[in-house]
Structure 1
């Protein structure tokens, strides 16, 4: 690997969110169907680096992973005065839509994990026709909180270490040592109070109970995948959620926890590659039917 240069390219895009300019950092790799990846609470888009460097998948997909404002290399907006950060459903949804439109992405696939998986469900509720497909990792309409968020932003506690300690048990025991440590390192580097603010969405504002039943999977396919070792969003939570959504695809991933794309990328690939291939084949069939219909109309004319 000495001297090897990975294929992803990082850059910034200016995105209007709520009438204010945000300088958002993103990395991308590949060409083809746009696939936007959303990181977990309190972390950043480095979680997706293995997918971004996958030579086979990037032959057919333009994979894009961005840092949410306040996360990673995306700073808070210039107007921020230090007030408590709290992520809301409306703000999260607007950020994703604004990012996709800023990059002029045509019907992208969106895949999110944890809070990203929860917001994918809201995208399916509110904006299904904006997307080619939606993939929720560790996603459910609601989970009862099992943690005390008051520990996540205190002057007498190292916030990063507490955040990493909190989520460490969510990683499957089979996950390799290196990826495990890398997953937790991202948490140790998070901004003060950001994990806590993301969890406001996860535990309070993002409760989707009573709303998911209206999701139309004929307008946009929905895939839900959860690791068998996840006790934050359990497989039972995801199965319960999928049962309320006609046409939703649900999978429990063996030997994986709450961070499948970063804690054990090789194992995660065995689950996500077939789904992405299915999305690609569906796109080919759709174009083929459209071309066939156009040819018949031409003959009739």
Structure 2
């Protein structure tokens, strides 16, 4: 898969020098992609060029303190709404209009938060492995992660976690690639991300998510219990649930089927 047509740049958002990649025609429908905890925009490298090749104007950014973006001046963001509003400010700064927003894991929570507060300004949402609420980590685990002494060799932990949370049908070379760059996650940043994940809860605003939602769940995802997925799918006014067999926590990396499903959803959303 070629990366032709992708450009990169920086934009100042809330005092943060923010890195992003962009592809597709300027007059294409806008799409914004959000990465997972501790990671960066590389996670979307198999999706971004496909969006551009199919006529969409797509962006993926590094959240504050991730990848090539500098940290937020207020410290690492440990609140999902604050992260979502940062993404919304990014969209405004680059001139995005009525986008489809897509995200995985904490990115999935981010796009549901965006829909809960900005549904009238969105064309649609693609939520992978997120939910209306995600209180899935024991507080003791997060407390251990808070310092290097509490969780020594964090990098190796994240490397192995990245391998084992993929499904049995995941494309194996991508699993190894993902584990390689995921081990470079910064512990303090990842701790803030997972704290935001644990506190995230927009159930009271579920009725506000009136835009179309493609909700993608890998059946092998052990980070997100099925009960939270079913709760979310039942509560959303306009939700298409796609359960991917043999796939885990990172559908956009694990399977080319995801790209086809996303393109189909984008086409349906644009026809509304």
TM-score for both structures, normalised by structure 1: 0.81
* Structure label with greater radius of gyration: 1
CA distance in 2, matches of 1:208, 1:275: 23
| 2:31 aligned counterpart, secondary structure | strand
CA distance in 1, matches of 2:253, 2:209: 30
CA contact (8 A) 2:136 2:224 kept: no
CA contact (8 A) 2:40 2:66 kept: yes
| 2:20 aligned counterpart, secondary structure | strand
| 1:12 aligned counterpart, secondary structure | strand
Q: Which sections of structure 1, spanning at least 5 residues, go unmatched?
A: 283-301
Which residue is equivalent to 1:24? 18
Query: Is 1:65 equivalent to 2:56 in the alignment?
Result: no
Which residue is equivalent to 2:43? 47
CA distance in 1, matches of 2:127, 2:160: 24
TM-aligned CA deviation for residue 195 of structure 1:
1.0
TM-aligned CA deviation for residue 146 of structure 1:
4.3
CA distance in 1, matches of 2:81, 2:209: 20
Post-superposition CA distance 1:63-86 (Å, at most 9, x none): 110000100000114x46xx6x34
Which residue is equivalent to 2:109? 118
Which residue is equivalent to 1:35? 31
CA distance in 1, matches of 2:254, 2:136: 22
TM-aligned CA deviation for residue 176 of structure 1:
2.0
Alignment of 1:1-301 (within 5 A): 6-15=4-13, 17=14, 21-31=15-25, 32-54=28-50, 58-77=53-72, 79=73, 85-146=76-137, 148-152=141-145, 153-155=147-149, 157-204=152-199, 206-212=200-206, 214-217=207-210, 220-264=211-255, 266-282=256-272
| 2:187 aligned counterpart, secondary structure | coil
| 2:217 aligned counterpart, secondary structure | strand
CA distance in 2, matches of 1:169, 1:143: 20
RMSD: 2.1
CA contact (8 A) 1:235 1:252 kept: no
CA contact (8 A) 1:238 1:250 kept: no
CA contact (8 A) 2:123 2:270 kept: no
CA distance in 2, matches of 1:139, 1:177: 23
Which residue is equivalent to 1:289? none
Comparing 267-276 with 67-76, greater Cα deviation is found at 267-276
TM-aligned CA deviation for residue 99 of structure 1:
0.1
CA contact (8 A) 1:227 1:235 kept: no
How many residues of Structure 1 are paired with residues of Structure 2 in the alignment? Answer: 266
CA distance in 2, matches of 1:162, 1:150: 16
Q: Which sections of structure 2, spanning at least 5 residues, go unmatched?
A: none
CA distance in 2, matches of 1:10, 1:43: 17
CA contact (8 A) 2:218 2:247 kept: yes
Structure 1 pair 240–281 and aligned structure 2 pair: CA distance change class (3 A): same
TM-score for both structures, normalised by structure 2: 0.89
TM-aligned CA deviation for residue 281 of structure 1:
3.1
| 1:175 aligned counterpart, secondary structure | coil
CA distance in 1, matches of 2:134, 2:221: 12
